[in-house]
Chains A and B, each alone.
Chain A
Amino acid sequence: GAGVSQSPSNKVTEKGKDVELRCDPISGHTALYWYRQSLGQGLEFLIYFQGNSAPDKSGLPSDRFSAERTGGSVSTLTIQRTQQEDSAVYLCASSLDRGRIYYGYTFGSGTRLTVV
């Protein structure tokens, strides 16, 4: 596609429920990143995928968070047993490959998650 597509754009869920957030990167982009943006905070790195390599999960805040990327394209971020502190905007970004980050990532518009 022309840009990075994320869905849903907004999600309201009850505390304790599981949620799935989807990211469809730009076609041909092998690097995919997930970030979390909380009010008044900088973007927080969560996880990184590069081609068929094992993902860098070093930013995931707890074992309730997981992500997968199928076929080197679409990625799903799953949050289990959601807590109120999980409320944030979840941003996905892609780039041609890790070496191209110096040209900047392309970000999606994000999913705003609200846990009530």
Chain B
Amino acid sequence: EDQVTQSPEALRLQEGESSSLNCSYTVSGLRGLFWYRQDPGKGPEFLFTLYSAGEEKEKERLKATLTKKESFLHITAPKPEDSATYLCAAVSGYGQNFVFGPGTRLSVLP
């Protein structure tokens, strides 16, 4: 069964304190690994798609990387506006739908 887990469950950072969020996946023939950001009371907002091990994508202070078993979302010098829940999702070679992880709730304190 396809499965996606995320750690930590919650993370508190000081403004400017860089860190990484982890997404571990077990899927049959990964077709795509996705990162979304979700603000309270809103639907998830698409950030990145990664397709193969070694691939990296960047957007402002965020960089997503992918290995054969994990993906990391690196946050460099975060700001309070980066506070949100970050969701990871995978699509397998045999499935057609996203399998989401439970998310990491990030709080960046000024």
Contacts and interface: CB of A to CB of B under 8 A. Distances in A.
Interface hub of A33, A43, A56, A105 (most chain B Cβ within 10 A): A43
B43 A42 contact: no
Contact of B41 (A41, A102, A109): A109
A105 B36 CA distance: 10
Interface string B36-65: 100001111111010100000000000000
The size class of the interface chain B forms with chain A is 20 to 34
Interface of A is mostly: mixed
Interface residues of A, number: 25
Interface of A: 4, 33, 35, 40-45, 48, 56, 59, 91, 93, 98, 101-110
Interface of B: 4, 32, 34, 36, 41-47, 49, 51, 87, 89, 91, 96-103
